[in-house]
A and B are shown apart, each in its own frame.
Chain A
Amino acid sequence: MTRAILILGPANVGKSTLFEKLTGVKTVRFNRPGVTVETISAKVNEDTILVDSPGIITSGGIDVERLKKIALSGNVYGAIFVIDATNIAAHLTLFLAAALVFRRIVLVVNMYDVAQKQGIEISAECLSKRLGVPVILASARKGIGIEEIRKILMRKDRDRNPYVKEYDSIDELFKELENPELYRELSIIAQDIARNCTKIRKKHAPVREFVDYVFLNPITGLPLTVLLLSITLRLSLLISDPIGELIEGVMTGNQVIEIIGAVFSIFPLVLTYTFFLTILEDTGLLSRIMLMLHDLVRKLGINGRLVAPLFLALGCNVPSVMLTRGAESEVQRRVAAMAIPFVPCSARMAVIAYLAYNYAQNKFLVIFTAYTFAFAAAIFTLRLFSRIRKVRSGYLAITLGPYTLPDPKVIGRRLRDVGKEFIVKVGVFVTIAALIYVYLIQPYILQISRYLAPIIGRPEAFVEAAVMGFIAKEIIIGVLSTYSVSPSMPQVLSFAVFVTLYTPCVGTFAAIGTEIGRRYAILSVLRSLFIATVSALVILFITSLRVFVA
């Protein structure tokens, strides 16, 4: 029977690099009954698979529910717990907690080369003696310690680590992992071990000190963080736009192919933004960005970890929804995913600008009103859902690892995984949605829209454009360009707000459906339609009071 060994550890300690070094062949999904945690696994030898299971230990600590699911998934034989050599005191507490769960556990002290450069000497012998488990000092990037880990993976001893306690039931064990007093005891042991097994000769890390000084500085920190995220988004758009247009240009012929083409034109953006985000993460900068922005975004009911996906939503909502995977919890993820469709993406930006420049005398008013309603709706959703789901966005505490150069293999693997997932999940969903839309729904909606136009007081072209905009917002411009209409200022204003809010495009709908659940995808459309209709009617009402001059 194949045995599974998990790779566990806090964020940014080099788990992915280690996984890459230890495996490297065929990647397979680790889907056991009852396990819903996103994991990736690969064979390391005849009867052993290594499982990379991110998200079990986050900046908020151990996600006990996720850990329980994966630990009880059948053939889990043991765990490799990876910690950062420059953060031993902080990370050993979590290792000791994991040692309560896994009978066989190995400690890998990674990034030892970086620690040595900072003058930190660690005794593996001392750690092993005190902890009662095998300890390997490693540098996954440089391949140091990999053979030693491989040898341990070959062993099939029945020894259990000294921290395993006998509990009356499994539930009791996992309940204990939610007890703060347990971590208090473990922290005291961890600090004592760290003190006795390490020697610090000097304490000078010029690169880290300088970058941290600039990035976490009260004056330069925040502008630099926003600038870095802006550059990331701008570069992603700059690189991906021409390729996206090319895909869209090639995928023509019939309407179904055009719809699929419109969604797949986002694919280059998904990859480029993932590329830059992985670089930020791998270098150690992302944890600093999350820290800098956390207290700003927590007022909205979310955690700093969701800053990057939300920022990306300004470019495109589809990858933004996919990247909410980094959230602290499933509840936080759902809350963010439900708010993302209100963040005006670059396509909606283009539609708003088109309406302002082609139909409005007061261009600024149209753009300002549409954006104000969009951000108000996003903030309202975040706050409302956070309250309903009782989300604890609260506090961010994050271990700050050393700065390192990005590993091309880690970036490559991330791109491969994200790309594959986009093609398989979103691709299938979009194809089905496009077929249903074109052959079953569209003929009737277009008919209804013709009757609706006079009732809701807009030009018929606006209604038809809005219906077609469900596929991709850019299509709105395409439809409007074929008509010659002269709408009044209130009509332009209400329509601009309506199309900014009314529904996520089919790509975002597919992403929410596959990532969060179909129920949430349908709910997001209905909710958006309701808010958009109310907002458009409010605008029509206000403008009818002649507050604004057409």
Chain B
Amino acid sequence: MKLCEVPEGEYVILDITDEVKLVVYQLGLVEGSVIEVEIKTPTTMVINLKPLGRIGISRSLARFVEVEPL
């Protein structure tokens, strides 16, 4: 499922679309990373990268990231 559509909770990243890989990888998010979706708004979301990383991303970016509940 797409990151932009999931409810708050813990997920593992399954796939990242090529188009955004450069941006997302530079944030430390890769396939297999464990993240916690903490806050969601209609346009943005705040995720915690385990163990240490608090990242805000726009939903336009989150729709390119496939996740699965942990």
Q: Which residues of A contact B (CB under 8 A)?
A: 60-62, 86-94, 97, 120, 178, 180, 183-184, 186-188, 190-191, 194-195, 198, 200, 212-213, 216-218, 221-222, 287-288, 291-292, 294-296, 298, 304, 394-401
Contacts and interface: CB of A to CB of B under 8 A. Distances in A.
A42 B19 CA distance: 40
Interface of B: 18, 20-33, 39-44, 46, 49-61
Contacts of B50: 89
Contacts of A200: 51-52
B22 A61 contact: yes
A216 B46 contact: yes
A87 B27 CA distance: 10
Given A93-B27, A180-B25, A184-B25, A298 B56 contact: no
Pick from A87, A213, A218, A397 the residue with the most CB of B within 10 Å: A397
15 contacts: A86-B52, A90-B55, A93-B26, A94-B26, A183-B22, A200-B52, A217-B39, A217-B41, A218-B40, A288-B56, A395-B20, A397-B23, A397-B58, A399-B27, A399-B55
A207 to B, nearest CB: 14
Nearest to A197: B51
A11 B51 CA distance: 20
B56 A89 contact: no
Chain B interface mostly helix, strand, loop or mixed? mixed
Chain A interface mostly helix, strand, loop or mixed? helix
A223 B42 CA distance: 13
Contacts of A191: 28, 30, 33, 49, 51
Contact of A294 (B26, B52, B54, B58): B58
A308 B39 CA distance: 23
Contacts of A395: 20, 23, 57-58, 60-61
A89 B49 contact: yes
A400 B55 contact: yes
B16 to A, nearest CB: 9
A116 to B, nearest CB: 13
Contact of A194 (B51, B54, B61): B51
A295 B43 contact: yes
B44 A397 contact: no
When A and B form their complex, which 10 residue pairs have the shortest distance between CB atoms, in order from nearest? A295-B43, A90-B53, A183-B25, A395-B61, A180-B21, A61-B26, A291-B56, A89-B53, A90-B28, A218-B41
B20 to A, nearest CB: 6
Contacts of A183: 21-22, 25-26
Contacts of B44: 216, 291-292, 294-295, 396
Contacts of A188: 30, 32
Contacts of A86: 52, 54
A222 B25 CA distance: 28
Nearest to B32: A188
A398 B55 contact: yes
A194 B52 contact: yes
Contacts of A89: 28, 49-53
B51 A400 contact: no
A204 to B, nearest CB: 13
B53 A396 contact: no
